[in-house]
């Protein structure tokens, strides 16, 4: 049942983001920033953690989950380091995911021929 919940929740998040892209004049980058900020806001309100426990990867993989990871990292770093944790927490919490995206993107550039869109 965990797989089913992850599938439909993740699909619903992606479908809602696609509807926002199709029905508004918002650029994709702005929609992505909106999703990250919503994830951080839902984490701040203590709503995202129970949602993530229910949906598993369906809630942790989309950009909403990335915003929640940033929030959790900042919250832990502020508790530990005080004011400087605001600047440290997000980087520490997201370092592995961002590093993996950079490494795999670089490796993919060897497999596929990168070129500009026409």
**3-class secondary structure for 69-81?**
HHHHHHHHHHHHH
The predicted structure's pLDDT at residue 47: 92
C-beta separation of 94 from 68 below 8 A: no
Q: Is the dihedral of CA 19, 28, 50, 61 positive or negative?
A: positive
| Segment 21-77, tens digit of pLDDT | 999 999 988 999 999 999 999 999 999 989 988 988 888 888 888 888 889 999 999
Q: How far apart are CA 7 and CA 33, in angstroms?
A: 23
Q: How far apart are CA 106 and CA 110, in angstroms?
A: 7
Decide if pLDDT at 117 tops 70: no
Tell me the pTM: 0.77
Q: How far apart are CA 68 and CA 72, in angstroms?
A: 6
């Amino acid at each position: 049942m965990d797989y089913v919940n992850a599938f439909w929740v993740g699909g619903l998040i992606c479908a809602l983001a696609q509807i926002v892209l199709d029905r508004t004049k918002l650029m994709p980058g702005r929609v992505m920033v909106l999703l990250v900020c919503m994830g951080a806001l839902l984490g701040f309100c203590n709503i995202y953690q129970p949602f993530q426990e229910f949906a598993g990867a369906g809630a942790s993989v989309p950009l909403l989950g990335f915003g929640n990871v940033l929030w959790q990292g900042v919250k832990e770093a502020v508790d530990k380091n005080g004011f400087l944790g605001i600047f440290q927490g997000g980087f520490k919490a997201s370092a592995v995911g961002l590093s993996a995206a950079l490494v795999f993107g670089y490796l993919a550039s060897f497999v596929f021929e990168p070129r500009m869109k026409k």
